[in-house]
Chain A
Amino acid sequence: SQQGEEDPQALSIQEGENATMNCSYKTSINNLQWYRQNSGRGLVHLILIRSNEREKHSGRLRVTLDTSKKSSSLLITASRAADTASYFCATVRTSGSRLTFGEGTQLTVNP
């Protein structure tokens, strides 16, 4: 079964607004990663946050991690039409060597 579950499944916003996507997972992790997938393309890594980190920033991206709640959030600020894509969280467990993906959030940014 999928380790991570994203919420919401789909999100539609206007350009300039912020987009927040959430990810929940089930087991203890070493790190959690967020990826973006444009339609019909491969996945591109966005950001990695380790289990001993609580928040991380990269450009317009902000990721938080709450290991007590087994959840993470991805915030995209000042969104652009080019941010339209599917966003996936993926976890690496403390035991094992797998990168396990959730089902993703489809983000649509309307111009």
Chain B
Amino acid sequence: NAGVTQTPKFQVLKTGQSMTLQCAQDMNHEYMSWYRQDPGMGLRLIHYSVGAGITDQGEVPNGYNVSRSTTEDFPLRLLSAAPSQTSVYFCASSYRTSPRLTEAFFGQGTRLTVV
């Protein structure tokens, strides 16, 4: 099992550009989520999904879109990159048991710089 795979690992964007961060998991987890982590801070939830075709907003959703067409994939789209979106982005997945979350498995992160 590869677990949770994020691509790319590093990315530099110019202000106004758009891009998609990829996330895939091979554990058949229902729940997937995206977080951003800024220096010296914890993780803030951007968007999450409780299953294919279902997504919802987290704490900091502005400027980001997600979709969940399959159980395995949960891409995060930056619509028009801004310097404030410079951060490390983590994708995570977990099981849901009736319907609460259990342990989350994290990808290795994407370090994004917007200039």
Residues of A within 8 A of B (CB): 1-2, 4, 30-31, 33, 35, 40-45, 48, 88, 90, 92, 97-104
Contacts of B103 in A (CB 8 A): 33, 45, 48
Query: When the two chains form their complex, are residues A97 and B42 in contact, meaning their CB atoms are under 8 A apart?
Result: no
- The majority secondary structure among interface residues of chain A is strand
Q: Which of B31-47 contact A (CB under 8 A)?
A: 31, 33, 35, 40-45
Query: When the two chains form their complex, are residues A99 and B108 in contact, meaning their CB atoms are under 8 A apart?
Result: no
Q: Which one of A1, A45, A101 contacts B43 once the chains associate, using CB atoms below 8 Å?
A: A101
Alpha-carbon separation in the docked complex, A42 to B35 (Å):
11
Q: Which of B75-106 contact A (CB under 8 A)?
A: 90, 92, 94, 96, 99-106
Alpha-carbon separation in the docked complex, A41 to B107 (Å):
9
- The majority secondary structure among interface residues of chain B is strand
Alpha-carbon separation in the docked complex, A10 to B104 (Å):
24
Query: When the two chains form their complex, are residues B101 and A92 in contact, meaning their CB atoms are under 8 A apart?
Result: yes
- B48 close to A (CB within 8 Å): yes
Query: When the two chains form their complex, are residues B35 and A101 in contact, meaning their CB atoms are under 8 A apart?
Result: yes
Query: When the two chains form their complex, are residues B90 and A43 in contact, meaning their CB atoms are under 8 A apart?
Result: yes
- With contacts A41-B109, A42-B90, A44-B106 taken as known, whether A102 is within 8 angstroms of B42 at the C-beta atoms is yes
Chain A nearest CB, measured from B34 CB (Å):
12
